[in-house]
Amino acid sequence: MFDINVLPTDCAQKRAANACSGCGAREHSVCGALDDRQLDRLDTLADQMTLQPGDVLVRQGDPANHLFNITSGSVRVYRLLPDGRRQITGFLFAGDFLGLATGDTYAFSAEAIETSTACRFRRNEYRDEVRNNPALEAALLDRVTHDLAAAQAQMLLLGRKTAQERIASFLLDLPAHDPCRPGPADHVRLPMTRAEIADYLGLTIETVSRVLTRFKTSGVIRLLSLNELRIEDPARLRAIAEGEI
């Protein structure tokens, strides 16, 4: 397991050159609101991290000393309940920020799903930068507003939708969350496991598998591999997601 407090040598080194200018996640991140001079300043505050599947960014209950900007790959964010059950609260992709809305300790854990990279910032240094950088402050406000809207949508998903509607909504929404890796039209990448999808949607793995099989049998989707599918009938899938079927 990757220890957040002990960076590998290559990650601990400050980058000699500004990596921001060539970062594919820049236009999808808060960094996209900054000019070159502001990016140079932000780059001096960042540690670049490379994570392998299962490596830990933060652990629930640890001191919230850092913020993270995901620059490639994907991350699962989850909370452990007192009885040991896991609730996945989100999947993060390139351009997403982690650790903005937290107290003195992390209220969640976060782990890499696949090989991923991230910029790590010391929380106090980043906050000082935000105070002195109106463009960054405005971009972070937009990000927090977006995250709040996503949380409200997730509450609706879990509270009112059926299993079939939840999975249909998930498949339709997922590609937009991973803009740095666009695929052919109606293709959906699934870097997460069926069990992780189940934890995120408040379902069992058996239910997720059963509904996907139903979608496949009815011609709504085609499973291309364990981690990729194609939506064959987008209109029907959207109607399912909206409770019209």
Which structural domains are found in the chain, ordered by start? 9-147 (2.60.120.10), 161-241 (1.10.10.10)
Rounded to whole angstroms, how far apart are CA atoms 113 and 179? 17
Contact call for residues 204 and 128 (beta carbons, < 8 A): no
Closest by alpha carbon to 48, among 29, 74, 20? 20
Contact call for residues 229 and 223 (beta carbons, < 8 A): yes
Tokens of 204: 């069992």
SS3 66: strand
Contact call for residues 70 and 94 (beta carbons, < 8 A): yes
What is the predicted pLDDT for the residue at 172?
Answer: 94
Closest by alpha carbon to 171, among 201, 147, 203, 204? 201
Residue type, 166: R
What is the predicted pLDDT for the residue at 18?
Answer: 56
Closest by alpha carbon to 88, among 7, 189, 180, 166? 166
Rounded to whole angstroms, how far apart are CA atoms 95 and 143? 10
What is the predicted pLDDT for the residue at 14?
Answer: 38
- Give the CA radius of gyration of the chain: 19
Residue 225 β-bridge partners: 228
Tokens of 200: 């995120």
pLDDT tens for the chain, residues 1 to 245: 333 333 333 333 334 455 666 676 777 777 777 777 878 888 888 899 999 999 999 999 999 999 999 999 999 999 998 888 889 999 999 989 898 767 889 999 999 999 999 999 999 898 888 888 888 888 788 877 777 777 777 777 777 889 999 999 999 999 988 888 878 889 999 999 999 999 999 999 999 999 999 999 999 999 999 999 999 999 999 999 998 88
Rounded to whole angstroms, how far apart are CA atoms 91 and 104? 23
What is the predicted pLDDT for the residue at 12?
Answer: 33
